Each structure stands twice: as structure tokens, then as C-alpha cells.
């Protein structure tokens, strides 16, 4: 091989090495740049942790694209109201095992994200909320009978558990907005007995309503009858002979003014009232 050929071959290899090196550098730069870019979705915010200073307690990163150093880390939190469902296994006041499906509604307070990051971290639901829900549910449900849990006291139980959760979480930037009991599952024999009892109570209340309406109707009619009786008594006491005669005279005066009245005989009746004879204007008998 000639010297010229060797020089050309060497130049080609050196050029190839330079191009490969440039690609490696470019790919590394892109990789580092990709690690520096973080996107925060709508309704979320983030806290920055740096390798030199730890959690940044002054800055809260909002929606959009954020550029950070690849050796730092951005912890993203959802600030919207969230719902988590839990299956709870609890005991009633008489020791009966009850399964409940429940939901807890909560949200993180955005202004205090650094506090939550320092105290608990992103897994705050499993660390705080879920254990507290289970604890409060066991404590509160244990005060009630299966019948109350299944029917009449469900809203009361929800309210008491919610109050307990808020008290437990008051030192953390988490707002518990609601607690709901979605379903209560009892042993079949207990559930059937409770449903039968509820049906009997509803029938009893319905019958009480019907009887109450009947009693009130009878009382109303009795009052009306007593009123009529009292009215008749007053009328009878005031219907004297003189009063009736006077009313008869008034009636006679009104009849006498009628255009069809022709002859009036004074004192012709048994009561001494005038007798009125009517005749046609055409000369009837």
C-alpha cells in the first residue's frame, strides 16, 4: 500500500472517530437535558429537593414546565379534591363483625406543601389518611348496634368519623372534606331480621297515622255537631211569639210592595197577622 493510501485511510478513521464522539456527546447532552425538564400538570404543584440544601421551603412550583438540575428532584402533589375508597372490617357494640365500603374525600393545602413534604412525603395517604380512617371507623362503629349501623344512625356515624379524622389531621396541611359509608354488609340472618323489624315499624307508623287522622276527623265532627247544637239552642231560646210576629209583619210589608199584591185583610190570620190575597192585574177573581 502506498504512503498516500495509508494517509487517506488514517484520515477517514480519525474523522469517523470524531463523528462518533460528537454523537456520544450530543446524546449525553440530550439525556442530561431531558433529566432537567419537569412538566407539572393542571391542578398540581411541586416542591424542590436539592442535593445541597434539601427541601426548598420557600418556593412552590406551579403548573407548566420547570427546568431543574439533574441531580435535584421535584416532588409533585395533586391539589384537587381526591376520593379514595376503603373496605373496612369493624365490630358493632355487641361484637358482630361488619364489613363496610367507604369513601374519604380530601385535598392538600397548596400553600403548605413544603411542610407536608418534610413531615410525611408524597405517600401521605397511606401513611396518614388510610390508617386514621380505619382507626376512627373501628372506634366509632363500636358504639352502635348492627341495626343502627345498617339503617338509622348511618349519617351520625359518618359525621363522627369525619370529626375524628379532622382532629387527627389538624397538624398537617390536609383538609378532609367528607367521609361516606357506601355500603354495609351484615350476615344474612341479621340483615333479614333487621329488615323485618324495619318493615314492622313502618307498618306500625302507617297505622298510627291512619288512626290519628281518624281521631282528628271524629274530633272535628264532634266540635261541628256541638256548634250546631249550641246554635239551635240559642235560636230556640230567642224565637218568642212577639219576635215571630214582628218578623211576620216585616215579611208582610215586603209582600205588600210587590206589584202582584192586590188585597190585604188586616188581622185576618190566627196569629193576628194580615192576610194577603193576590189577584192578576187583568181582573182575576
Write the pLDDT tens digit of every residue in 86-105: 999 998 888 888 899 999 99
Q: Could you tell me the pTM of the whole model?
A: 0.57
**Looking at residue 33, what is its pLDDT?**
45
User: Does 121 or 224 have the greater pLDDT score?
Assistant: 121
Collapsed DSSP state (helix, strand, coil) of residue 273: coil
Rounded-to-integer distance, Cα 202 and Cα 208, Å? 10
How far apart are the C-alpha atoms of 224 and 219, rounded to whole Å? Answer: 9
Cα separations in angstroms, 77 against 55, 109, 265: 14, 10, 112
User: For residue range 154-163, what is the model confidence (pLDDT) as tens digits?
Assistant: 999 999 999 9
**Percent of the chain predicted with pLDDT > 90:** 31
* Nearest C-alpha neighbor of 185 from the set 77, 99, 76, 87: 99
Beta-ladder partners of 64: 40
Give residue 146's pLDDT.
83
What integer is the mean pLDDT of 261-272? 54
* Chain position carrying cell 429537593: 49
**Span 50-63, pLDDT tens digits:** 888 888 888 888 88
Q: Residue 285: its pLDDT value, please?
A: 43
Q: Residue 88: name the closest of 97, 76, 101, 78 by CA.
A: 101
**82-186 carries CATH number 3.30.420.40:** no
What is the longest distance spanned by two Cα atoms in the chain? 173
Burial 226-260 (b: 16+ CB within 10 A, else e): eeeeeeeeeeeeeeeeeeeeeeeeeebeeeeeeee
**All three cell numbers of 5:** 493510501
Average pLDDT, the chain: 77
- Is the pLDDT score of 13 beyond 50? yes
42 Cβ contact partners less than 8 Å away, ≥ 6 residues apart = 63
pLDDT, tens only, 186-211: 877 676 666 676 565 666 567 777 77
Q: Please identify which residue in the block is written with the cell numbers 427541601.
A: 55
* pLDDT tens digits along 205-258: 677 777 777 788 888 888 888 878 777 777 666 666 666 676 667 767 776 676
Question: What's the mean pLDDT in 174-181?
Answer: 95
Percent of the chain scoring above 70 in pLDDT: 66
Phi and psi torsions of 51, nearest 5°: -70, -20
Q: Are 134 and 82 in contact (CB under 8 A)?
A: no
The pairs formed by 57-64 with CB atoms below 8 angstroms and a separation of 24 or more are 57/114, 57/115, 57/118, 58/114, 60/110, 60/111, 60/113, 60/114, 64/39, 64/40
Give the pLDDT score at 63: 86
- For 14-23, 122-131, 217-226, 276-285, which range has the lowest pLDDT when averaged over its residues? 276-285
Contact 181/162 with Cβ under 8 angstroms?
no
Average pLDDT over residues 123-148: 93
- In this structure, what is the dihedral angle of CA atoms 209, 211, 215, 216, given to the nearest 10 degrees? 20
Amino acid at each position: 500500500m502506498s504512503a498516500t493510501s495509508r494517509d487517506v485511510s488514517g484520515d477517514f478513521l480519525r474523522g469517523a472517530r470524531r463523528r462518533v464522539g460528537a454523537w456520544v456527546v450530543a446524546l449525553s447532552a440530550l439525556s442530561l437535558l431531558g433529566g432537567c425538564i419537569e412538566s407539572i400538570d393542571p391542578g398540581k404543584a411541586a416542591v424542590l429537593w436539592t442535593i445541597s440544601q434539601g427541601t426548598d421551603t420557600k418556593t412552590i412550583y406551579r403548573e407548566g414546565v420547570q427546568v431543574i438540575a439533574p441531580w435535584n428532584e421535584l416532588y409533585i402533589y395533586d391539589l384537587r379534591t381526591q376520593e379514595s375508597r376503603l373496605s373496612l372490617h369493624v365490630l358493632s357494640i355487641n361484637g358482630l363483625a361488619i364489613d363496610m365500603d367507604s369513601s374519604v374525600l380530601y385535598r392538600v393545602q397548596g400553600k403548605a406543601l413544603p411542610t407536608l413534604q418534610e413531615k410525611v412525603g408524597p405517600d401521605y395517604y397511606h401513611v396518614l389518611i388510610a390508617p386514621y380512617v380505619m382507626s376512627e371507623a373501628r372506634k366509632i362503629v363500636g358504639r352502635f348496634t348492627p341495626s343502627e349501623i345498617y339503617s338509622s344512625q348511618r349519617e351520625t356515624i359518618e359525621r363522627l368519623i369525619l370529626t375524628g379524622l379532622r382532629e387527627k389531621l389538624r397538624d398537617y396541611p390536609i383538609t378532609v372534606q367528607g367521609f361516606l359509608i357506601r355500603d354495609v354488609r351484615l350476615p344474612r340472618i341479621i340483615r333479614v331480621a333487621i329488615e323485618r323489624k324495619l318493615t314492622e315499624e313502618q307498618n306500625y307508623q302507617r297505622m298510627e297515622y291512619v288512626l290519628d287522622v281518624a281521631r282528628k276527623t271524629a274530633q272535628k265532627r264532634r266540635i261541628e255537631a256541638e256548634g250546631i247544637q249550641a246554635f239551635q239552642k240559642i235560636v230556640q231560646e230567642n224565637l218568642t211569639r212577639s219576635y215571630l210576629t214582628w218578623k211576620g209583619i216585616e215579611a208582610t210589608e215586603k209582600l205588600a210592595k210587590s206589584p202582584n199584591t192586590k188585597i190585604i185583610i188586616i188581622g185576618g190570620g190566627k196569629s193576628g197577622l194580615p192576610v194577603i190575597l193576590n189577584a192578576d192585574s187583568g181582573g182575576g177573581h
